Amino acid sequence: AGTRRARASAQTSLHVPYGDGDGEKLDIYFPADPSGTFPVLVYIHGGYWQCLSKDESGFAAPPLVSQGVAVVAVGYDTAPKGHMDAMVLQVRRSLAFLVERYSGIRGIYLCGHSAGAHLAAMVLSTDWTEYGVVPDIKGAVLVSGVYDLEPILHTYVNDALNMSREVAQRNSPMLCIAPAVPAAVACEVLVAVAQHDSPEFRRQSQEYSQALRAAGWSVSLMDLAGVDHFDIIEKLSEESYVLTQVGEELPSSL
């Protein structure tokens, strides 16, 4: 219902292609007055890289859009059609597309849940020189993410993904943390994990946040009580944690 409401009320562009692939589409929820500059929250959905889509991702839009923030839900080709390398590339390209297409963007905030947090973390490790643009990523909210893909190799999750060890390693955020360049130091990373996430999810969130911090990134780890892997994202959007994270500098910059 949240997505439907967002679609009805906002100035919305659905299924905007950022590439030629079937899954390479964005849903963009603009603020009421998109003529000026505006911050953008880019939401990357979860679903173990094989289910869900951008179409369920509009739930975060209404409170943000009403505050003058554009919300972009990213579509990507999930498995078995999508290969892990391809998904990572698609999400990176979607950001380059946004920056090139919309000159009004003033700062990008990434938010991803589960597999989406993995993809958002891979965005943080992008070498943007090959894309010809450098998105101004001011913050990232990584919710119950997977930062090391190797433990997945021997689980049912890999049946559809069909990853080799090599593919898992080169797409593990834990193994490709970029040293924080000056721009990255200004990027606030919030790593959120649920009290009832599995021990493996909790371990990965702790280790990834420590590794980012060691590389010079500005990181905080949030451990949310009373929620599990699935309802943590609802709790975060309901209680406007995401809004608060983006909103820290909104009033001053609006």
Residue 62 inside a domain? The answer is yes
Residue 102 inside a domain? The answer is yes
Q: What confidence tens digit (pLDDT) does each residue in 17-40 have?
A: 999 999 999 999 998 876 688 999
Residue 35 inside a domain? The answer is yes
114 is catalytic: yes
Q: State which residues form the domain around 205.
A: 1-237
Q: What percent of the chain has pLDDT over 70?
A: 87
Residue 247 inside a domain? The answer is no
Interval 135-161 mean pLDDT:
95
Residue 140 inside a domain? The answer is yes
Q: What confidence tens digit (pLDDT) does each residue in 107-120 have?
A: 999 999 999 999 99
Residue 139 inside a domain? The answer is yes
Residue 253 inside a domain? The answer is no
Q: Which of 153-157, 199-203, 237-241 has the lowest mean pLDDT?
A: 237-241
Where does the pLDDT of residue 185 fall: very low under 50, low under 70, confident under 90, or very high at 90 and above? low
CATH number at residue 76: 3.40.50.1820
Q: Check 9, 55, 77, 229 and give the catalytic one.
A: 229
pLDDT score for 34:
60
- Helical segments of 149-224, H only: 157-161, 165-170, 182-185, 199-214
DSSP string of 7-70? HHHSEEEEEEESSSSTT-EEEEEE-S-TTS-EEEEEEE--STTTS--GGG-GGGHHHHHTTT-E
Q: What percent of the chain has pLDDT over 90?
A: 72
20 is catalytic: no
Residue 133 inside a domain? The answer is yes
Domains of the chain: total: 1
197 is catalytic: yes
Q: Check 197, 205, 209, 237 and give the catalytic one.
A: 197
What six digits make up the tokens of 31?
């603020």
Name 218's Cβ contacts closer than 8 Å, sequence gap at least 6: 180, 185, 186, 187, 188, 189
Q: Is the pLDDT of residue 79 over 50?
A: yes
Where does the pLDDT of residue 250 fall: very low under 50, low under 70, confident under 90, or very high at 90 and above? very low
pLDDT score for 24:
98
Q: Is the pLDDT of residue 176 over 70?
A: yes
The partner residues of 208 in beta bridges, in order of sequence, read none
The per-type count for the chain, helices as H runs and strands as E runs, is 11, 8
Q: Check 94, 114, 125, 209 and give the catalytic one.
A: 114
